[in-house]
Amino acid sequence: MNLEDQYDRIYQYLFFHLHDRHAAEDLTQEVFLRFLGSRTYRDENRQLQYLYTIARNLCYQYYRDRTITYSLDEESDVPEINSPEAEGFEQSLTDRIVLRDALQKLSTEERELLFLRYVNDVPVPVISGLYQISRFAVYRKLKRILQKVRVEMEAEQDE
């Protein structure tokens, strides 16, 4: 496993949840310190699963320590449209707004699943271990969520 590569991904994951560059990077480093301080698995997927487990737990802890109640309907992990980083993509602004609105209609868990699988390219067995559900259930869920997003987007574009 290439740790430097995973650093970027864990950072992305934390940024996705926290929307704060500084906090995301602090927590990323904490994740790696803890990961390196523990004994390693031989299996790469188990290692990866452990990395995400630490990241997720630190994320919850972060919210808890700041006494922000992280309710499931909260949308802090919906990507921002106008962030300067979003410049230079081939998507038009309207496309992005449409997608964003569609994502907004999902639950936090659904958004996280999409993010892990399609943005961070986390292998399905790792996701299945992380959520304690079968691989088959991961595939099924992903398919259903994608379908949901597509239907939403098409409906909006028709308007």
Assess 103 for contact with another protein (CB under 8 A).
yes
Least CB distance to another protein at residue 32 (A): 7
Find out whether 74 and 59 touch, Cβ atoms under 8 Å: no
Residues 137/97/120/30 CA torsion (nearest 10 deg): -110
Are the C-beta atoms of 105 and 120 separated by less than 8 Å? no
Of 28 and 128, nearer to another protein (C-beta) is 28
Q: Is 73 helix (H, G, I), strand (E, B) or coil?
A: coil
Q: Single out the segment in contact with another protein by CB under 8 A; choices: 11-19, 67-75, 133-141.
A: 11-19
Does 93 participate in binding another protein (rule CB under 8 A)? Answer: no
Q: What is the DSSP letter of 1?
A: -
95 touches another protein by CB under 8 A: yes
Residues ≥6 apart with Cβ < 8 Å to 10? 28, 31, 32, 51, 52, 55
Q: Which parts of 21-60 interact with another protein (CB under 8 A)?
A: 21, 24-25, 28-29, 32-34, 36-42, 50, 53-54, 56-58, 60
**Please, which residue, 21 or 105, has the CB nearer to another protein?**
21
Please give the torsion angle defined by the CA atoms of residues 66, 30, 130 and 116, in that order, rounded to the nearest 10 degrees: 90
Q: Which residues of the chain form contacts with another protein (CB under 8 A)?
A: 3-4, 7-8, 11-12, 15-16, 21, 24-25, 28-29, 32-34, 36-42, 50, 53-54, 56-58, 60-61, 79, 85-86, 89-91, 95-96, 99-100, 103, 114-115, 118-119, 146, 149-150, 153-154
